[in-house]
Amino acid sequence: MSRYAIGVDFGSESGRAILVDTADGRELATAVYPYSNGVIDKRLPLPDRDVKLPPDWALQDPEDYLRVFQVTIPAVLRDSGVDPADVIGLGIDFTACTMLPAKADGTPLAVIPELRANPHAWVKLWKHHAAQPEADRINATAARMGEDWLPRYGGKISSEWFFSKALQILDEAPDVYAQADRLIEAADWVVWRLTGVETRNPTTAGYKAMWSKREGFPDREYFAALDPRLADVVDTKMTRDIAVMGERAGGLTDEAAGWTGLRPGTAVAVANVDAHVAVPASTVTEPGRMVAIMGTSTCHMVLAPDEHLVPGICGYVEDGILPGFFGYEAGQSCVGDHFAWFVEHAVPGRYLAEARDRGIDIHVLLQEYAAALKPGESGLLALDWWNGNRSVLVDAELGGLLVGATLATTAPEIYRALVEATAYGTRVIIEALETNGVPVNEVIAAGGLAEKSPLIMQIYADVTGKPYRLSGSSQTPALGSAMFGAVAAGPDAGGFATIGDASRAMARLKEHVYEPNPAARAVYDVLYREYVRLHDYFGRGENNVMKTLRGLRANARGEGA
């Protein structure tokens, strides 16, 4: 008898459910719900008041998340014809850190009429970047106090992370902070709403909230040093009781069963993060095989049996990706976004006209032209910092650089140079990991950019010298969440005892292997050395022109330096 699991993947713009067969991971149905209020970055979606948001804000509506369950799960049940009784488990993954304030019963502050017009009552999406002053305070205070958790995060906490956002609420809306009984990741909040049980997943706690299995959270004195009112934030608004990955958080409530059409009591897994669930869904359950989720930005993850300090990575967390391993994560903040910017702002109309005439995507056309070039033939080299540099420089203030243009330089040549630049950026990350004791023998890529671009995959293999393979599913995170759902259900219900077992049964890779081409590697080795020299010159303080330019721009716009 077949058993099924459902995975729900919450992205930035929409939520997506898939229903898979637990025997082999086969995908029977999929459904997407685009959030009705999307990313809220200009004004609050209020019918009766106009509340504008400052620059760098990015909010979401918590009720959009519940609508994902209400719309997509009935849809996949209907489309697959699967009997809800045969669905043994449900897992979810989320963007992170995406967090919200709630009451003790789970009611989000954003739905409380007297708080609804306060932007701080809403969900802060991962890419809410308005908490930089708070992040700066968190870093400066930690450095001053010699906090031993700071090196685990490459020496810097991001403005995107949990306590930066929490501190911004306290700074700017102390009344909202006071009325919040809970400050919680949206990932955990939706599991709470499905099961009636409040759990806190170890992934976001570890990667976004400075928690570790051995040390717990930073101590009370540290939070008090940031702000006396923050001293007891963990004990009053969070919990020290962090769940174990793969555990069953609870069973579906009657209410949630009504939303979804699933049986009450259906196992729901502890929440997880989109990139991280993609690791076992890409067949990776052991050290040495990096997973790269390549989309607008790229997230790199690799497991190791032991603990290493790797300067400039986003962080490493014990049991943070898979139980039994230290999970290392690094990031590139501008990959698909880079190519999208280029098409929007720097590609002449004749290329778009040709793509339209031939009925192909403009990226496919540019890659076709770029593929006709040999390594080195563009004469160009770029630093892929259009959106700053996450790993290994951890510096959002850096800017892009293109060198070598001539009067004969064409758009496809620049496009190829930008692709190559992101590949050099990946090689910097891989070399930082390997130099510090974390081997990377091959890379499994997932995400839309990886699947659609054989040229990009080959360039990455040639630049890094590592074979690249593609995850078998085109919905890798959702598949990973379904796998965790099957683990939450457990073997007695027809699921799995461990995520490793689930991965071996349900995950697969595409056949093709992008092997590094030795001739191309030789040229890229030369170019990479030049890249590293520019990377260090502009990125490590020798020439701070990028920051000077950013300061002048801010001055010109009257934003202060």
Chain residues in the site for a copy of itself (CB under 8 A): 334, 337-338, 341, 344-350, 352-353, 373-381, 386-387, 399-407, 409-411, 414, 523, 526-527, 530, 533-534, 537-538, 543, 545-546, 548-550, 552-553, 555-557
**Least Å from the CB of residue 455 to a copy of itself:** 16
How many whole angstroms separate alpha carbon 223 and alpha carbon 485?
35
Nearest alpha-carbon partner for 166 in 152, 153, 176, 154: 176
How many whole angstroms separate alpha carbon 528 and alpha carbon 521?
10
CA distances from 239 to 182, 200, 216, 235, 520 (A): 9, 8, 11, 6, 52
Indicate the residue among 1 and 556 with the shorter CB distance to a copy of itself. Answer: 556
CB contact burial 263-292 (16+ within 10 A = b; e otherwise):
eeebbbbbbbbbbbbbbbbbbbbebebbbb
**Least Å from the CB of residue 415 to a copy of itself:** 11
Indicate the residue among 375 and 495 with the shorter CB distance to a copy of itself. Answer: 375
Indicate the residue among 388 and 454 with the shorter CB distance to a copy of itself. Answer: 388
Find the distance separating the first CA and the last CA of the chain, reported in whole Å.
65
Indicate the residue among 35 and 386 with the shorter CB distance to a copy of itself. Answer: 386
**Least Å from the CB of residue 374 to a copy of itself:** 4
Q: Are 292 and 444 in contact (CB under 8 A)?
A: yes
**Least Å from the CB of residue 343 to a copy of itself:** 9
Indicate the residue among 125 and 487 with the shorter CB distance to a copy of itself. Answer: 125
Indicate the residue among 436 and 544 with the shorter CB distance to a copy of itself. Answer: 544
**Least Å from the CB of residue 548 to a copy of itself:** 6
Residue with tokens 């593929």: 371
Indicate the residue among 329 and 413 with the shorter CB distance to a copy of itself. Answer: 413
**Least Å from the CB of residue 56 to a copy of itself:** 12
What is the per-residue DSSP string for 22-34?
TTT--EEEEEEEE
Query: Beta-strand (E) ranges in 3-144?
Result: 4-10, 14-21, 27-34, 59-60, 87-94, 99-102, 123-124
**Least Å from the CB of residue 232 to a copy of itself:** 39
**Least Å from the CB of residue 364 to a copy of itself:** 18
How many whole angstroms separate alpha carbon 272 and alpha carbon 170?
26
How many whole angstroms separate alpha carbon 421 and alpha carbon 413?
12
Indicate the residue among 123 and 414 with the shorter CB distance to a copy of itself. Answer: 414
User: Which strand (E) or helix (H) includes residue 459?
Assistant: helix 454-464
| Other Cβ atoms closer than 10 A to 384 | 27
Phi then psi for 229, rounded to 5 degrees? -70, -15
User: Which strand (E) or helix (H) includes residue 468?
Assistant: strand 468-471
Indicate the residue among 441 and 555 with the shorter CB distance to a copy of itself. Answer: 555
**Least Å from the CB of residue 453 to a copy of itself:** 19
**Least Å from the CB of residue 546 to a copy of itself:** 6
How many whole angstroms separate alpha carbon 164 and alpha carbon 210?
11
Indicate the residue among 42 and 345 with the shorter CB distance to a copy of itself. Answer: 345
Phi then psi for 473, rounded to 5 degrees? -95, 145
Q: Are 474 and 451 in contact (CB under 8 A)?
A: yes
**Least Å from the CB of residue 557 to a copy of itself:** 6
Indicate the residue among 106 and 341 with the shorter CB distance to a copy of itself. Answer: 341
How many whole angstroms separate alpha carbon 300 and alpha carbon 311?
15
